[in-house]
Structure 1
Amino acid sequence: MSDIDGYFGESVAAMYDESAAAMFTAEALEPVVDLLAELAGQGRALELGVGTGRVALPLAARGVEVHGIELSAAMAERLRAKPGGEAVGVTIGDFSTTRVPGSFSVAYLVFNTIMNLTTQDAQVDCFRNVADHLEPGGTFVVEVMVPQLRKLPPGQNAVPFHVGDGRLGFDTYDTATQAMASHHVSVEDGRGTFRSIPFRYVWPAELDLMARLAGMRLRDRWADWKRAPFTGDSESHVSVWEKPAD
């Protein structure tokens, strides 16, 4: 079993939609699908890390032909079992290198998924892979957090992102290597469980350079899917790179 399939294997896939319920609401999804449908136009869309179909299914329901790449077979099975799942093609594989037939007018990575690639080389390979899939004039969209290093006082390497009854979540950072991990502690009926997932955090300017290495250029960058301005205080960004039409 691959590492990512292990991190997002059957036990995680079974509870993934429930654990990320806020991301499945119409309020959260409509701006995402609006932008991607606009960029897709009459063309096809490629989702890298398609998961259980949170974005792919409503995008396909808009009439966009969607194909997904997903390393976790367990997550892909959840997608296929949902209403409309048969409309989304899925290829099992590493989205930094896996090729699928045809070309696409838009490719996208949402919800910090670019950070599942835990080396800079793999992230660079991902941009090159996307560029190879895009038709001339096509776009690549990435939604990802801005590393929260400003929250780290000297000598500290952890930032909590959830503290509540029965659940604790915190991120750890290695500023020398850009290695990062999200740690999840849950307590139910007096019994605790712990899960840790590795990531590699990446800066906006670093992503722009990866895009240039793949022959793409930054077209837009916003703080969120509603296209709010991106500033030095933004905690995430939605960036759009374009493959030259010529």
Structure 2
Amino acid sequence: MKDLGPETYGELNVDVYDEWHAEHDPAEAVRGLAELIAEGPAGPVFELAVGTGRVTIPLAATGVDLRGVDASAAMVARMRAKPGGDRIPVVIGDMVDVDPGGDDLFAMVFVVFSTFFFLPDQERQVRCFANVAERLLPGGRFVLECPVPDVARYERNQTLETYRVGLDRVRIAAVRHDPVEQRFEGHHVLITDKGTKLAPAFMRYAWPTELDLMARLAGLELRHRWGGWRREPFRGEGNYVTVYEKPAAQPS
């Protein structure tokens, strides 16, 4: 796909995002993040890619000093229209090198629901790790919710899947896989009696060991890797949660 920008996904998916992801209950992520925040150093928390606030709003409601960034003004506007969403400070910008403003360092930076992989190449992903590390307090954590790449589902590096079938609508996904660039690119397609809606989907995936190397380059250390927000054992499949930590300052 040409002419992709950091705002592309949000701007073109905002009208269907909440509906299409309604089956993904954010409660476990909110609970897991709150537990990690309680275990770490005191300080504000920063979310990369707040989207429509599905995790942002309930987490802030627990009393967390939460701020965030999103590249899509339309997604943030949708969040601010929800109860509590207008009270959360959000910067419109690219999570690769966002400047949250002020001199605050953060106790935790997090990104959920695989959104880190919307960064389209390895160089931008490495830069994102470096930027996060600069903005963490000593002992602060970078938390990512990630999918283990499932490349086996692609025959001849492409796939077509059916997500919904109803009397008046069909939702399918058509995706191509580039194994050299480690990219998935495609569309969710909604066909109804009123016409067709295209919602682009793109991702530059990375394996867990590649993420660990990015973290090391940024000066972060792997603290935890779980098979989910309930801290299940990681078994190399499905979605998982990784926690990196900035080493505490050493006494001189």
TM-score normalised by structure 1 residue count: 0.90
- Matched with 2:193 is 189
Q: Partner of 1:56 in structure 2?
A: 56
Measure, in 1, the Cα distance between the counterparts of 2:77 and 2:10: 12
The residue aligned with 2:85 is 85
CA distance, structure 2, for counterparts of residue 158 and residue 182 of structure 1: 9
Q: Which moved more, 1:160-169 or 1:139-148?
A: 160-169
Q: How many residues align?
A: 238
2:157 maps to 1:120:
no
SS of residue in 2 equivalent to 1:96: coil
Residue segments in structure 1 that go unaligned for 5+ positions in a row: none
Counterpart of 1:34 (choices 25, 31, 34) is: 31
Contact 1:60–1:87 (CA under 8 A) maintained in structure 2 = no
Q: 1:132 aligns with which of 127, 130, 134?
A: 134
Residue 237 of structure 1 and its aligned partner are, at CA, apart by 1.4
CA contact (8 A) 1:71 1:94 kept: yes
- Residue ranges of structure 2 left out of the alignment (5+ in a row): none
Deviates more, 1:118-127 or 1:180-189: 180-189
Contact 1:95 1:126 in 2 (8 A): yes
1:223 to 2:227 alignment = yes
Q: What's the offset of the Cα at 1:189?
A: 0.1
Shift of 1:167: 0.7
Aligned-residue sequence identity (percent) comes to: 42
Instruction: Tell me the TM-score normalized by structure 2.
Output: 0.88
In structure 1, C-alpha distance between the alignment counterparts of 2:22 and 2:137, rounded to whole Å: 34
Secondary structure of the 1:67 match is: strand
- Equivalent position SS for 2:95: coil
Structure 1 residue 106 displacement after superposition: 0.8
RMSD across aligned C-alpha pairs, in angstroms? Answer: 1.8
Structure showing the higher helix proportion among its residues: 1
AA aligned opposite 2:185:
A
**1:14 match: secondary structure:** coil
